[in-house]
């Protein structure tokens, strides 16, 4: 079976994430403990015990989601299940870099820490909101004279806008007048918008000295919805990605022509739901040890 592995981004975090994996898998325990040593702070306590308000902060959420997703991908690899393509939503794209051996685990963890810190510093009175039930054209008409942008093209009828909180609040009644439903997201910044430019600069400087390898299998990039394997392009993408929109509809539309099934690997089931709204290609979810075992039987 030809598979595409998908990795989630922010919003997938929840208190208790990864705890059963840690307690029941020696391999996961080794990965988590190694991460603790590299990071130098008790991320596991935050993941397992909270508080939720702290875990939600981008500098912690990104590391936590990556860690659970990466550990699950390593378990899957140990079972001999390999993807033909990889993709990740926002942060998840960097998890895909790890699954494709573009960067070492320690380099990737350090990069995500820099990314999370830089994005947190760039996040001043800014946020995101999902807009349900409107077309791209309808939303663009409302945004046309505003600095707010469409950040995520998640699935037909579900797009995400990003910008200053005050501007989003001003636009919300106009979007509702057109028949849309507006749902503020539990994120701490205006990700994938021009407001992340300072974070992009930090990432460009930081990645300049990193050594990346060509991807072991193609990664379908958020910015383009197209596959990439070359290390130079993948390095350039790291800084560009935080200010660019997530072209998830285009990414899945391409992948559905290439694979027989999708596997969402990481906390939550958000991506599985989005895939089902784009295609009838089968999708399995691996978010913990139980769902990992349930899905694995389909690939062995």
Q: How far is residue 181 from each of residues 26, 155, 160, 170, measured CA to CA in Å?
A: 44, 15, 11, 14
Report the alpha-carbon distance of residue 50 to residue 15 in Å, rounded: 5
- Return d(Cα 139, Cα 275) in angstroms, integer: 22
Q: Could you tell me which residues are beta bridge partners of residue 5? A: 86, 263
Q: Which residues pair with 220 in a beta bridge?
A: 87, 227
DSSP secondary structure of 154-195? EETTEEEEEEEHHHHHHHHHHHHHTT-EEEE-S-SS-TTSGG
Beta bridge partners of 7: 88
179 dihedral zone (left: phi>0; alpha: psi -120 to 50; beta): left
Cβ(76)–Cβ(198) under 8 Å?
no
From 25, 69, 73, 90, the catalytic residue? 90
> Dihedrals φ, ψ of 263, to 5°?
-125, 115
Catalytic residue list contains 287: no
Q: Exactly one of 73, 164, 192, 251 is catalytic; which is it?
A: 192
Q: How many residues make up the chain in this entry?
A: 300
Smallest CA-to-CA distance from 35 within 82, 7, 93, 74 is with 74
Rounded to an integer, what distance in angstroms lies between the CA atom of residue 16 and that of residue 14?
A: 6
Q: Is 89 a catalytic residue?
A: no
Query: Where in the sequence numbering do the catalytic residues fall?
Result: 90, 192
């Amino acid at each position: 079976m030809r598979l595409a592995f998908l990795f989630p981004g922010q919003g997938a975090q929840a208190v208790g994430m990864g705890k059963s994996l840690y307690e029941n898998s020696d391999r996961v325990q080794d990965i988590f403990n190694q991460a603790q040593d590299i990071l130098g702070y008790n991320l596991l306590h935050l993941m397992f015990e909270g508080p939720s308000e702290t875990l939600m902060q981008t500098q912690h959420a990104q590391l936590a989601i990556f860690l659970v997703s990466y550990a699950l991908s390593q378990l899957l690899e140990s079972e001999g299940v390999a993807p033909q393509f990889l993709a990740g939503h926002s942060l998840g794209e960097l998890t895909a870099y790890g699954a494709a051996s573009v960067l070492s685990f320690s380099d990737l963890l350090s990069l995500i820490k820099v990314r999370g810190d830089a994005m947190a510093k760039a996040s001043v009175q800014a946020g995101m909101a999902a807009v349900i039930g409107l077309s791209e054209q309808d939303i663009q008409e409302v945004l046309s004279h505003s600095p707010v942008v469409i950040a995520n093209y998640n699935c037909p009828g579900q797009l995400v806008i990003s910008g200053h909180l005050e501007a989003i609040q001003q636009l919300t009644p106009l979007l509702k007048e057109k028949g849309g439903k507006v749902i503020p997201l539990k994120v701490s910044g205006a990700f994938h918008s021009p407001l992340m430019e300072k974070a992009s600069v930090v990432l460009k400087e930081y990645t300049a000295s990193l050594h990346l390898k060509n991807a072991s299998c193609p990664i379908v990039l958020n910015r383009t919805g197209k596959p990439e394997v070359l290390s130079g392009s993948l390095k350039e993408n790291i800084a560009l990605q935080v200010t660019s929109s997530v072209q998830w509809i285009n990414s899945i539309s391409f992948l559905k022509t290439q694979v027989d099934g999708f596997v969402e690997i990481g906390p939550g089931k958000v991506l599985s739901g989005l895939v089902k709204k784009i295609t009838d290609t089968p999708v399995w979810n691996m978010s913990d040890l139980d769902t990992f075992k349930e899905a694995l039987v389909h690939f062995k």
